[in-house]
Amino acid sequence: MVLSSNLFIQKRSATTALKQPKELGHYSRTQDNEFLVNDDSRLAYYYLPDTDLDKRLDLLSGIKKFKECNTEEVDSTTLHGLLSTLEEYERRKGKKTKVDIITFRGIIRKLISSAFDTPQFNLVNFRVVCFDGQLFIKEIKADVSETGINSNRESLQAKAYYSGYKFEALATLSQPLPLVPRTTLEKRPKKIINNGDQFISMVRTGIGKCKILIGAEVDCIFDFKEDAGDNLKHYAELKSTTMVNTIADSHKFERKLFRTWLQCFLVGINRIIYGFRDDNFMLRTVEEFTTSEIPVVLKNNNPQMQTACVDAIKWYGAFTEWLLASIPRPEDDIDTIKAYKLIFENNHLKLTEIEPEDEEYKGLVEGEEVISNSFKEWRRSLGK
């Protein structure tokens, strides 16, 4: 019998017990879509002095030269870099990492947001593969012609998309400040930008009885990096948005702030820096938030969002409990791999088993669409 299960968005868990996030490893992704395990060459360092805000920094400067690396040929949603990093970590430890779910932060954020956002702004189209007693969740890549900057660089959507990357480039350095030449600092506004260079942290966290391993792209180090140790407390999230001038603007920003809180709260990043731009995409001001203060800000300023953060945690608990209860995960059968489709429709998450005759089955179960062959071989060698 084919497995099928639904979870309605009104469901909430009684648990709000969260596991302290811990960084286990990291990797860099290059413009050529290479994954460099335990490499921090793509880690950026925050540097945006107040005097730079007087220079009328243009967040659209260089948009025509922007290098879009998430092309048709590149699977930007692949788990392979994360799994290579996990394999290296397990080889050092000599044992399997005991978690229930392995995925990216963006996937967990979208699953939580599905209970709060309208579907057109939060498309849930995931595949879940059960292997070695664990669930690996991957997002199905969206059509790149409909996203980002690919279609029309003069559109408002493309400008907003680019301005976020531009703000990151203006606010960060590729090395700590003492190592950066003055000429490099002065040329920052003219730097050609790409979205292929990324630094990803591998974090173990969870809620209730569910343990989760999450890969999360990190925008920058805020202060300093510890060479040996967990750097979650040193990371910062960078965001760019429009100026807040009216009550309507304020409520719109609070909804953005809620989504950003989710992103950071999930992996233990406690500093968020927003760059505010005017209608001409000039950077006007910068404001810093701590992740822990955002629930209080929302509660005090927006009656409609007074309980949003607590509600999100209870939904987080509910869907993880549901997912683990829905999918059998035999740890003693390492040769059996099963795949499932996880989507959101009509106010519920829908989980459906993918059968052998489905066109997706071979790539998900026998191929490397979700889990790389090298990772499968590593885990099977551990089992032996």
User: Sheet harboring 35-37: ordered strands across?
Assistant: 4-8, 348-353, 338-345, 125-131, 134-139, 101-104, 210-217, 198-207, 18-29, 35-37
Host domain of residue 60: 4-383
Instruction: Give every strand in the sheet of 220-221, ordered side by side.
Output: 172-173, 45-46, 220-221, 235-242, 271-277, 283-290
Task: Please tell me the predicted confidence (pLDDT) of residue 48.
Answer: 96
Q: What confidence tens digit (pLDDT) does each residue in 194-248 have?
A: 999 999 999 999 999 999 999 999 999 999 999 888 999 999 999 999 999 999 9
Query: 3-state DSSP call for residue 214?
Result: strand
pTM of full prediction above 0.85 = yes
pLDDT value, residue 150: 60
Using 50 as the pLDDT threshold, list the residues of the chain that sit under it: none
CA atoms of 256 and 261, how far apart (whole Å): 9
Look-up of token digits 């009216």: 246
Instruction: Provide the domain count of the chain.
Output: 1
Q: Looking at residue 139, what is its pLDDT?
A: 95
CA 380 to chain CA centroid, nearest Å? 29
* Angle, helices 80-93/373-383, rounded to nearest 10 degrees: 30
The predicted structure's pLDDT at residue 3: 86
pLDDT, position 75: 87
